[in-house]
C-alpha cells in the first residue's frame, strides 16, 4: 500500500512539474489552439521527470531527511540548468535564423529572467515536491479551492477568477455598481479596483463565517500558477476581448486552477511603487510573454479600475 501511494504521488509530481495534467505524452496538440503561431520561441515539447528524479522524490517521501532533501534539490537544480541551456541554444539559433529582432529580444529576456530567477524557481519546485499536501487528488477541484503547494498549509486558491455573476450578487447586497453585459455571467469581473476586491473578500469572509478570504500575495499567486506551460492555450494576444473563465479548462496551473494566464490580469496584495499593486497573469490584450508567471514588471494603481484587470481569492482555514 505504501509503495502504491508513493508511485501515485510521483505521478502527481510529474504533472505538477510539467503543469500538464490533462495532456499526456504522445497526445497531439489541439489543432484549434491559436497561440503557437504568434511566437517562434514557443517550444512544443513538455518536460518529463527522469527516473533518477522520480527515485529521489520517492526516497524523500519515504524518509524526509536532510540528506535526501539535499540530493533531491541538487537534481532539481540540475534539471533546471538543463532547461536554461536549451533556452540558450534556442537563443543562438534565433540570432542566426530569426527574420525579426523582436524574436531574439523575446528569447533573450526569457534567458535573462531564468538566470536571474534561478534560486527562486528551484526553491518553488522544491516547496511543491516536499509539501505534505502533495497527494493523489490534490489538484482536483472539489469545493472551488485548491491547495497552494509550497505555501502555508492552510492556504488554498480559487479554481477560477471571481465572475460577473458572483460579483453582481456582492454589489447588490452592498449597494455597489457593477456593469455586466447580457450573457456574460461566467466572464471574469473587471472594472474592479483593488479596494473593491478587498471589500468582496471581506464580504465573503463574513458570509462564510468560518474561513478567511483575501487577495493572494505575488508569491502565493506564483506558487499556485507554477511555470506557464510552453504550449498553454489561453486568451491572449488576439484582442478579441474577454472570454468565459471556463474557456480553457485544459490549461491547468500547478495547483490545478484554470484561467491563470491570459483573459484578465489579477490583483495581488503585493505593493509596487507609487501606490500600485502587482498584477499577474496577463490579459486578453497582452503579449504572450507578458503572461508568464515570472513576469514581475506589471502593476496597476490600487484606486483605479481597469477593463482588463480582475481578481481571484485565496482562502485560509
CB 176 within 8 A of CB 196: yes
* % of the chain surpassing 90 pLDDT: 64
Spacing of C-alpha 65 from chain mean position: 29
Q: Which residue has the higher pLDDT, 161 or 109?
A: 161
Most confident of 1-15, 134-148, 291-305: 291-305
- CA 289-248-153 angle, to 5 degrees, is 80
Q: In what order do the strands lie in the sheet with 276-280?
A: 299-301, 276-280, 265-271, 309-310
Does the pLDDT value for residue 26 go beyond 50? no
Name residue 310's beta-bridge partners.
266
Which triple of cell numbers denotes residue 188? 471574469
Ramachandran sector of residue 237 (left: φ over 0; alpha: ψ -120 to 50; beta: rest): left
For the chain, helix, strand, coil in percent to 5 are 40, 10, 50
Mean pLDDT score of the chain: 85
42 pLDDT above the threshold of 80: no
pLDDT computed for residue 8 by the predictor: 52
Q: Helix 66-97 vs helix 51-62: angle between axes, to the nearest 10 degrees? A: 150
- Quote the pLDDT of residue 178: 82
Residue 293 has pLDDT above 90, yes or no: yes
- Output phi, psi for 129, to 5 deg: -65, -30
- How many angstroms separate the CA atoms of 199 and 215, rounded? 10
Write down the pTM of the prediction: 0.81
Stretch 15-39: mean pLDDT: 40
Residue 280 pLDDT grade (very low, low, confident, very high; cuts 50, 70, 90): very high
Domain range annotation of the chain: 2-129, 145-316
Checking if the pLDDT of 7 tops 70, the result is no
The string of DSSP codes covering 222-252 is: HHHH-SPPTT---S-SS------TTTTTTSB
Asked if pLDDT for residue 284 goes beyond 50, the answer is: yes
Q: The C-alpha cell of 156 is what?
A: 488554498
Task: Report the pLDDT value the prediction gives residue 143, as an integer from 0 to 100.
Answer: 92
Helix axes 118-129, 101-116, angle to 10 degrees: 60
291 touches 261 (CB < 8 A): yes
Mean pLDDT, range 83-87, rounded to an integer: 92
Place of cell 488554498: 156
For residue range 200-213, list pLDDT tens digits in order.
999 999 999 999 99
Q: Is the pLDDT of residue 71 over 90?
A: yes
Q: In the predicted model, is pLDDT for residue 188 greater than 90?
A: yes
- CATH class assigned to 145-316: alpha beta
Here the contacts of 26-31 (C-beta below 8 Å, separation 24 or greater) are: 29/231, 30/233, 30/250
Amino acid at each position: 500500500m505504501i509503495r502504491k501511494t508513493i508511485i501515485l504521488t510521483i505521478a502527481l509530481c510529474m504533472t505538477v512539474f510539467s503543469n500538464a495534467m490533462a495532456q499526456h505524452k504522445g497526445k497531439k496538440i489541439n489543432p484549434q489552439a491559436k497561440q503557437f503561431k504568434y511566437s517562434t520561441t514557443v517550444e512544443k515539447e513538455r518536460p518529463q521527470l527522469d527516473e533518477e528524479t522520480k527515485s529521489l522524490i520517492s526516497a524523500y517521501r519515504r524518509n524526509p531527511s536532510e540528506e535526501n532533501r539535499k540530493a533531491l534539490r541538487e537534481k532539481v537544480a540540475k534539471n533546471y540548468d538543463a532547461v536554461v541551456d536549451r533556452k540558450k541554444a534556442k537563443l543562438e539559433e534565433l540570432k542566426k535564423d530569426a527574420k525579426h529582432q523582436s524574436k531574439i529580444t523575446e528569447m533573450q529576456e526569457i534567458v535573462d529572467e531564468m538566470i536571474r530567477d534561478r534560486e527562486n524557481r528551484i526553491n518553488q519546485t522544491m516547496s511543491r515536491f516536499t509539501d505534505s499536501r502533495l497527494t493523489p487528488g490534490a489538484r482536483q477541484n472539489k469545493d472551488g479551492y485548491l491547495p497552494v503547494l509550497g505555501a502555508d498549509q492552510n492556504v488554498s486558491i480559487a479554481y477560477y477568477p471571481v465572475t460577473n455573476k458572483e460579483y453582481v450578487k456582492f454589489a447588490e447586497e452592498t449597494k455597489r455598481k457593477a456593469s455586466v453585459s447580457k450573457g456574460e455571467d461566467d466572464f471574469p469581473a473587471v472594472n474592479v479596483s483593488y479596494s473593491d476586491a478587498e471589500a468582496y473578500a471581506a464580504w465573503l469572509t463574513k458570509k462564510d463565517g468560518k474561513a478567511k478570504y483575501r487577495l493572494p500575495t505575488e508569491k502565493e499567486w506564483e506558487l499556485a500558477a507554477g511555470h506557464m506551460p510552453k504550449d498553454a492555450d489561453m486568451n491572449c494576444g488576439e484582442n478579441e476581448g474577454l472570454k468565459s473563465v471556463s474557456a480553457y479548462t485544459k490549461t491547468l496551473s500547478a495547483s490545478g486552477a484554470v484561467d491563470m494566464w491570459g483573459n484578465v490580469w489579477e490583483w495581488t496584495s503585493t505593493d509596487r511603487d507609487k501606490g500600485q499593486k502587482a498584477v499577474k497573469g496577463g490579459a486578453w490584450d497582452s503579449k504572450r510573454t507578458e503572461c508568464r508567471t515570472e513576469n514581475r514588471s506589471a502593476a496597476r494603481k490600487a484606486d483605479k479600475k481597469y477593463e482588463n484587470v480582475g481578481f481571484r481569492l485565496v482562502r485560509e482555514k
